[in-house]
Structure 1
Amino acid sequence: MIILIRSSLWRKPSFQGTILKPRFLTSLNLWNEDITPEIKRKIEEHWKNKIASKPFNENDKSKEKYYVLPMFPYPSGSLHMGHVRVYTISDAVARYQRMNNKNVIHPIGWDAFGLPAENAAIERKIAPSVWTRQNIAHMKNQLEQLGCSFEWDREFATCDTEYYKWTQDLFIKLYDAGLIYQRKALVNWDPVDQTVLADEQVDENGCSWRSGAKVEKKLLKQWFVRTTKFAKSLFDNLDSSILHDWRDIIKLQKHWIGECNGVNFDFKVTNSEVEFVTLWTSHPEYIEDVKFVVVSENHILAKQEGVTDVAGAVKLKAELENPFTKHKIPVFMSHEIEYLPLTDSYVGIPGVADKATNFAQTCGIPHDNTPLLKNTDEVTAKQEHICNTAKHMKIGGYWTSAKLKDWLISRQRYWGTPIPMIHCKDCRAVTVPKDQLPVELPNLSTLSKKGGSQLAEVSEWLNTKCPKCGQDAKRETDTMDTFVDSSWYFLRFTDPVNKKKIFDENKAEELMPVDLYIGGKEHAVLHLYYARFINHFLHSLGLVPEKEPFKRLLVQGMVMGRSYKVKTTGEYLPENKVKILDMKKNKAVTKGTGEPVVIAWEKMSKSKHNGVDPAEMFEQYGADTTRLLILADVSPTSHRNWNSNTFPGIMNWQKRLWLTIRDFLTYRNSLPKMIPDNEFKSHDDFMFDSRNYYVKGASFNYVISQQMSIAVSKQQGLTNSLRKCPPAVYAYSKQFERALAAQIIMLAPMAPHFSSELWSGFVSAPKRLNNSEEIIWDKAVLDQEWPVVDLDYQLELSFQVNGHENALVKIARKDLENLPKEKALEMALQQKEVQTTLTKRNILDVRYDCHKGFDGILNIITDQPPPKVKEADSV
């Protein structure tokens, strides 16, 4: 315990009389009743319209902006527990940052286009827009019931014409920049949902991710976005200092993109329906010397000609034209070439690679071995020349990986953003003039499962005039992949009502990048890749300030439910049809037949009968208890096994907090007998120490480590300290008063209704003449300033060598925050443990870190590796 000499705070003070409180501080005054689910619901009903936080103020330049963004939901009809988790986390962070004097923007919207809505509408024989709007209304009501402090004035749905107008504008920007093209491609076709699927929407068994149908291959003319042009920028920028806490997401992104050690070039195809193919080579400097191309049986050219599994090599009818020399290049299908992973073509340049030379000799391909360039400078100069020429010719020339493919965005469905292109017999594909945007979907009350033909059948929508020549023309009937809609929504939130342009670049300059982006790991590859690509592209146009759209990521784990599956048939059963024999050993049988049942934790799903309805949780436990349950026990980044056995801990904590306010009111009003001064001082000092210790811990885990569950446990620790105090400390201790205020304030972002009621009781107690200065007594809890560690509280400065702690010293906060690195190093070298560890080692670097109000770390990096130690279990 830290004993500090302060003024005689423990002497019995006088009290002020009761003062009238503003209406928004008035509680239900039910302190003599035990806290029950019914009282929790009364509390939430009382406070639901009083806990709204101040919205983002665009004109307030005195505060630092903080943009916290949860991934917006698909309006499926009702919230699920995964939604509850992500939006509780984002709301807690938003409220925390507001209480830390940040100007917070916390918007929400709806990812409203897509197959599920269209299929649901077909089943119900209603328009997708009707089904979608009904779901949005219901889910919005649930989010409000959850107590989320969203910027509802910035709300939009991607199916709003005022949103997808700008998605179409973005498409045209990409097209004008040469990043969108149309070509015939061998695509994945879902025969049930009647649409194209991207490769990533097909599972390892070759089945559709939505319908489950076996995917077929079709040759269709499709629209692509040339994302590969930005591959190297997207790969290299993953090492940018602007990215914080991306952890393993950087590895996932790098793996998806691949090392950009080659260049793509477009080659025209003759004797084929395919107009051109894109070929990758790690030797762009020799692209003029290509003598042949080999493809696998899965390549579009082999599929088109029906060539399948053969021994040796088969020459195809199709030929390629070298864009630099105009020479014809033969194409072979063969298994004799070892293709790079996830690739289906090989560019043959004899003399550069032995396997190219050997293949040319085996197949009798005329060639002279390409003379190799003499040195690195020659290679570099030739590469730059070739790539620049290719860029000028608009046939590629950008460094990318062998496996990365361009983004296929065509979808043959009705419920999506119409592609703003018009097809003219003479002018071919022409963009819709921007003053004619949006190209609106025709208003269809009923749909059939005919995919893209649905739009093709609406003649009054389909038939139009060519913007260039005025002749009769037809609109594009494909719609965009919904990943396009979600690839830029975070930018529209900065300026959601702009009717003149996609967003105001000055507002983007002020608000971007997003400070914290929160969402599921399942979106950490594709959605994040597409969003990063669009942001890199818009940065190249000067419309956004940074290449990267998101500074920090919080990738939360799934909420898992216990499932019961019949071992022999794989049928999932609801819990009421299962007889549990031994839960600890996961032994169970079906009721009636006694067949063995497999018990497992799996992602919540209606089909697995293991889901939990948030509405039932709100009714049974209250919204705030549900919020606390979803945040407690496990890190946000870990999967959360939803188990009612963990509920009592949170409910008992709420009960102890309720009793603490009841006791505080009782003792402040009754003025119990004073205890001896030395005993009082001991408790007073203990509360000073407890307040600072737990404020430091909870604050650090709220935002620095992003461990909300530990922030909960730190607050529970402070409650335990408060409950240990005798009545006189409740009544007379200023440090108890400060600690209790800090307790309620730190709870507020997580449980805003409940903490508002606790605070109302707290401030209604008689005031001391020397009451705590940092408390704003006439304001609600959510308008309080976040508690900070006292300047004279002793923080820890840890001295490490190569990341392993050697020594620890205590320093007052006011001294630690102003401690220069040189002085900290000097202190470290005075410690015997550090001196021993550094014997015969050279210091290469010193890293010093000390967040305001938190402990400090000085790490000495030497020329020797750190000693091997057993890795501790994670918290």
Structure 2
Amino acid sequence: MYSLKLFRTFSNFMHNVTITFRRKKTSLGLWHEDVNRDIKIKIEKYWSNEVLHREISNADPVYYVLPMFPYPSGNLHMGHVRVYSISDALTRFHKLNGYKVIHPIGWDAFGLPAENAAIERNIPPYKWTKSNIERMKQQLLQLGFEFDWTREISTCNPHYYKWTQYIFLKLLENGLAYQCKAEVNWDPVDQTVLADEQVDDLGCSWRSGVKVEKKLLTQWFIKTTKYAKKLLDGLKDKSLENWKDIINLQRHWIGDCDGTVVTFKLNVDGTMKLFDVWTKNPYKYIHGNFIVMKSSHPLLQGHTYNSGLSCLNPITDSEMPVYICDTVEYPEGRDVLIACPTQDETDNQIAQALQISIDQVNKKDIAIESDSLKAIEIATNKNVGGHFVSSKLKDWLISRQRYWGTPIPIIYCPKCNIVPVPYEDLPVVLPELDTHSGIQTLQSLDNWVNCKCPKCHSNAKRETDTMDTFVDSSWYFYRFLDPKNEFAPFNKEKLKNSTPVDIYIGGKEHAVLHLYYARFMSYFLNSLGMTYVEEPFKKLLVQGMVMGQSYKVKSSGKYLPPENVEKVGEIYKEKVTGEPVLVQWEKMSKSKYNGENPERLLESYGCDMTRLLILADVPPGTPRRWSDATLPGCLNWQHRLWMTMREFLKYRANNFESNSLSPEEFKKIENKIWENRNYFTATTTYHFRDTQKLSVGISRLQSLTSTLRNNIPPEVYARSKEFELALAALIIMASPITPHFCSELWAGLLSAPHRISSHNSTINWENNVLEQNWPTVDDHYKLSFLCKVDGADRCELKIKAAELNNLHEERALQVMLNEESVQKWTRRGVLRQKYELYPGCRAILHIFTNKKQKQVEEV
């Protein structure tokens, strides 16, 4: 038992702690109370201004943290909480490391969900969207996320979509936007066209879930296929970090770019129409004898045709016969082929089957390789194709027939045909609606549709299709860097030192389509000289889905609320009927009754605990099975941190003296604390900075907390410099996860008398925790230097941090080759090596000794 006098001294000190001299906010001084929900809510309210509204640093360099911007549905779900908790933690981490961090937010605000919701409520979509944005913005603020709201953008704002229209016109100028008749996927529920990418393997719409229908419509496309080979090769770019299986997903989507496309002209009923011809053998564009086309080809629908069809070959400027046949084996995803029977046996068999007479030509007269190059060169010079692409990859269909989207800036004139809207007339603004009681299209709005031709001033009509929302989101990461620009989409100079995006965070469901479109747009804008780099994103962090436990009646598949289910032994049953119930983890959904409401968590535990709960235990890239099982561990950690600060302040207030520890024992405890502080600083830094496994970093901080609580005598609290430094490091490193709570802990630390390490240069005792420098290991602390030979661990050395941080690859290889344990495995010689230095954390040298092991995936 400690004396009553000591307790009274401590209590008086706690009572007066809020008036302790401090340049900035002082502690609330509630250390004598046990931390609970009410105290944490008080702390969050007290520190919210500092946490949310810190001044933007003018530091250099810049670090761009970009979470995928949300669709404004009106309420945050746990997926939102997870992605923005990750991005916010990384933002705060990099700020502590001296970066000026760009962490913007905006709204992917166009699209069918908002329009359908507006129809249900009989209100205009912009009103519904605006109210949702206001609601979600307030929720994000409640969670304490440190977004740069000065960069806020919304894709449904004319100030934004003006520049989407501008980019469309640039695509049109460069032959990358075009209109043609095509068989398209029609969603009969949402009454709009879907791109092939928006139809699942079962032929159902990605939005409504119904079976799509096929229709023949004239639509707008973006020729993404022209960039296919560049986008495929770009996946080898050494600047890309942590793309992992996303590279394979992108490669699979793009396919092997083993053929070329050339645009021919088909003569149908005296009208020339454009169509693409793909082949693996470009020489056929010069020496081909005929074209074969499926009868279902869109250009043939609604027309009479016979064996007299012909097309214009732009490579030879000559006519070629076209034959209709449905029994030919066409290239995957294609309904046209070009045949050269004199060089290709398969083509010869097709000619025989179609009874086509071909003049025999000596094969030696054709230089296949050089003629292939010649054909590609002609196609490129004439701008009729020649680009390499897989047979299955299609151009991007962007036309949508619904109201709520970016209007396509095109005018149709009976005299001038297709006329782009002049740049000075942008934006083409959506007309406002008073209500929205049913599916509405721009086509029905005569006052908006009817206009004058910009060229001849005749009566004309506007394009009534709007753009796919993927167009809006294909370039927003550049607009964030210059969101107020009224003269261009963005100023190139604003992109300097900020692009590519350092880390892009979002769900795996966007790892194919959105990422493919965004990469294409970035390559295109770079080709115009508008950007500095082609690849838009340096590092990807694809977070796993948040899953909830669902209950489904086994016989019918009906989902049940949890309260309608009971567990009998090891079996789950419906309470009313007693029918067996299947229990499984699925994506959270209202219809499955397995969702979690973030507002309930905020109300029950506060924002810091909500963020901690979503980040702890499971790395960001792993699916998160949401349950309350994580709660006790997180609550206990906060409780231990609170108790540690309480005891630290109590013993420091009295400058506790005791003879229970000898100098040797005191020093031994200090050495242990020093060792643990450095170890956990190195490993936490590694997982926050390099692996982004925030949950592992959190567990390291929990371990450091245990170091400071397990069997630590009072005199160590009172007189140990190492304890004080370790406690300071712990609070700083925990602050990206729980910034409000750590702000209060830090204020408590600053209020403590008898600080021993005030002279320490790494800590600015005049500033709050969010303005500190991230802790680093001491120069003489020894870090791990690991050598892997052909993928297996062979040697681990311990090297002082100051030396390891300056160890370059050549010297690293020399050091390891001097080790007997490495020499044993490198007698066959070193084929190649890869050196990974993680400053202040560790280093890994990979040595490969044979070609087989060259295929080993390097970690």
Query: For this structure pair, what is the TM-score category when the shorter chain's length is used for normalisation?
Result: over 0.9
Paired with 1:55 and 1:388, the residues of 2 have a C-alpha distance of 55
Q: 1:785 to 1:868 in 2, by over 3 A?
A: closer
In the alignment, what sits opposite 2:768?
Answer: 780
What amino acid sits opposite 1:170 in the alignment? I
Paired with 2:20 and 2:217, the residues of 1 have a C-alpha distance of 74
In the alignment, what sits opposite 1:188?
Answer: 185
Q: 1:292 to 1:806 in 2, by over 3 A?
A: same
Is the contact between residue 119 and residue 439 of structure 2 (CA under 8 Å) also seen in structure 1?
Answer: no
Deviations 1:56-90 (A, max 9, x none): 56xx4x51110110000000010000000000100
Deviation at 1:125, TM superposition (A): 0.4
Q: CA RMSD in A?
A: 2.4
In the alignment, what sits opposite 1:12?
Answer: none
Paired with 1:390 and 1:138, the residues of 2 have a C-alpha distance of 53
Q: 1:380 to 1:867 in 2, by over 3 A?
A: closer
Extract unaligned runs of 5+ from structure 1.
1-14, 307-313
Deviation at 1:371, TM superposition (A): 5.2
Deviation at 1:460, TM superposition (A): 1.6
In the alignment, what sits opposite 2:455?
Answer: 468
Task: Name the SS of the counterpart of 1:709 in structure 2.
Answer: helix
The answer on 1:116 being equivalent to 2:113 is: yes
Q: 1:730 to 1:679 in 2, by over 3 A?
A: same
In the alignment, what sits opposite 1:25?
Answer: 25
Paired with 2:844 and 2:286, the residues of 1 have a C-alpha distance of 57
Deviation at 1:374, TM superposition (A): 7.5
The answer on 1:753 being equivalent to 2:750 is: no
Task: Name the SS of the counterpart of 1:25 in structure 2.
Answer: coil
Task: Name the SS of the counterpart of 1:791 in structure 2.
Answer: coil
Task: Name the SS of the counterpart of 1:477 in structure 2.
Answer: coil
Give the alignment of 1:189-268 within 5 angstroms.
Answer: 189-268=186-265
Paired with 1:536 and 1:686, the residues of 2 have a C-alpha distance of 53
Q: 1:800 to 1:524 in 2, by over 3 A?
A: same
Is the contact between residue 349 and residue 370 of structure 1 (CA under 8 Å) also seen in structure 2?
Answer: no
Deviation at 1:139, TM superposition (A): 0.3
Q: 1:372 to 1:681 in 2, by over 3 A?
A: farther
The answer on 1:150 being equivalent to 2:137 is: no
Q: 1:425 aligns with which of 414, 417, 421?
A: 414
Is the contact between residue 682 and residue 841 of structure 2 (CA under 8 Å) also seen in structure 1?
Answer: yes
Instruction: Report the more deviating stretch, 97-106 or 34-43.
Output: 34-43
Percent identity between the aligned chains? 50
Task: Name the SS of the counterpart of 1:112 in structure 2.
Answer: coil
In the alignment, what sits opposite 1:693?
Answer: 679
Task: Name the SS of the counterpart of 2:657 in structure 1.
Answer: coil
In the alignment, what sits opposite 2:345?
Answer: 354
Instruction: Report the more deviating stretch, 363-372 or 415-424.
Output: 363-372
What amino acid sits opposite 1:460 in the alignment? N
Paired with 2:694 and 2:840, the residues of 1 have a C-alpha distance of 18
The answer on 1:276 being equivalent to 2:266 is: no
Task: Name the SS of the counterpart of 1:542 in structure 2.
Answer: coil
Q: 1:655 aligns with which of 630, 633, 639?
A: 639
In the alignment, what sits opposite 1:565?
Answer: 552
Give the alignment of 1:487-506 within 5 angstroms.
Answer: 487-506=474-493
Is the contact between residue 721 and residue 756 of structure 2 (CA under 8 Å) also seen in structure 1?
Answer: no
In the alignment, what sits opposite 1:37?
Answer: 37
Q: 1:704 aligns with which of 666, 687, 690?
A: 690
Q: 1:713 aligns with which of 690, 699, 713?
A: 699
In the alignment, what sits opposite 1:832?
Answer: 820
Give the alignment of 1:528-539 within 5 angstroms.
Answer: 528-539=515-526
Deviation at 1:867, TM superposition (A): 13
What amino acid sits opposite 1:287 in the alignment? Y
The answer on 1:598 being equivalent to 2:582 is: yes
In the alignment, what sits opposite 1:311?
Answer: none
In the alignment, what sits opposite 1:733?
Answer: 720
Q: 1:821 to 1:505 in 2, by over 3 A?
A: closer
In the alignment, what sits opposite 1:442?
Answer: 431
In the alignment, what sits opposite 2:3?
Answer: none
Deviations 1:569-617 (A, max 9, x none): 11111101111235xx6x3111110111111100001111111110111
Deviation at 1:341, TM superposition (A): 3.3
Is the contact between residue 580 and residue 588 of structure 1 (CA under 8 Å) also seen in structure 2?
Answer: yes
Is the contact between residue 75 and residue 110 of structure 1 (CA under 8 Å) also seen in structure 2?
Answer: yes
In the alignment, what sits opposite 1:291?
Answer: 289
Give the alignment of 1:474-873 within 5 angstroms.
Answer: 474-582=461-569, 587-674=571-658, 675-724=661-710, 725-771=712-758, 772-839=760-827, 841-863=828-850, 865=852
**Aligned residue pair count:** 838
Is the contact between residue 88 and residue 148 of structure 1 (CA under 8 Å) also seen in structure 2?
Answer: yes
Deviations 1:402-443 (A, max 9, x none): 111111000001000000000000111111111111000000
Q: 1:203 to 1:769 in 2, by over 3 A?
A: closer
TM-score, normalization by structure 2 = 0.94
In the alignment, what sits opposite 2:313?
Answer: 322
Paired with 1:769 and 1:360, the residues of 2 have a C-alpha distance of 92
In the alignment, what sits opposite 1:131?
Answer: 128
What amino acid sits opposite 2:226 in the alignment? K
Instruction: Report the more deviating stretch, 259-268 or 91-100.
Output: 259-268
Q: 2:402 aligns with which of 413, 420, 425?
A: 413
Task: Name the SS of the counterpart of 1:365 in structure 2.
Answer: coil
Deviation at 1:373, TM superposition (A): 6.4
What amino acid sits opposite 1:696 in the alignment? A
What amino acid sits opposite 1:688 in the alignment? W
Deviation at 1:805, TM superposition (A): 1.3
Is the contact between residue 291 and residue 320 of structure 2 (CA under 8 Å) also seen in structure 1?
Answer: no
Deviation at 1:55, TM superposition (A): 5.1
Paired with 1:658 and 1:830, the residues of 2 have a C-alpha distance of 49
Paired with 1:416 and 1:491, the residues of 2 have a C-alpha distance of 20
Paired with 1:24 and 1:572, the residues of 2 have a C-alpha distance of 53
In the alignment, what sits opposite 1:3?
Answer: none
Paired with 2:74 and 2:808, the residues of 1 have a C-alpha distance of 56
Deviation at 1:271, TM superposition (A): 2.4
What amino acid sits opposite 2:691 in the alignment? S
Is the contact between residue 722 and residue 740 of structure 1 (CA under 8 Å) also seen in structure 2?
Answer: yes
Q: 1:267 to 1:817 in 2, by over 3 A?
A: same
Paired with 1:773 and 1:322, the residues of 2 have a C-alpha distance of 75
Is the contact between residue 720 and residue 756 of structure 2 (CA under 8 Å) also seen in structure 1?
Answer: no
Give the alignment of 1:49-64 within 5 angstroms.
Answer: 49-52=49-52, 54=54, 56=56, 60=58, 63-64=60-61
In the alignment, what sits opposite 2:377?
Answer: 388
Task: Name the SS of the counterpart of 1:723 in structure 2.
Answer: coil
Task: Name the SS of the counterpart of 1:659 in structure 2.
Answer: helix
Task: Name the SS of the counterpart of 2:547 in structure 1.
Answer: strand
Paired with 2:451 and 2:355, the residues of 1 have a C-alpha distance of 54
Is the contact between residue 531 and residue 549 of structure 1 (CA under 8 Å) also seen in structure 2?
Answer: yes
Deviation at 1:136, TM superposition (A): 0.3
In the alignment, what sits opposite 2:10?
Answer: none
What amino acid sits opposite 2:662 in the alignment? P
What amino acid sits opposite 1:36 in the alignment? N
Task: Name the SS of the counterpart of 1:234 in structure 2.
Answer: helix
TM-score, normalization by structure 1 = 0.92
Deviations 1:624-664 (A, max 9, x none): 11111111111111100001122211111111111111111
Deviation at 1:546, TM superposition (A): 0.5
Task: Name the SS of the counterpart of 2:147 in structure 1.
Answer: coil
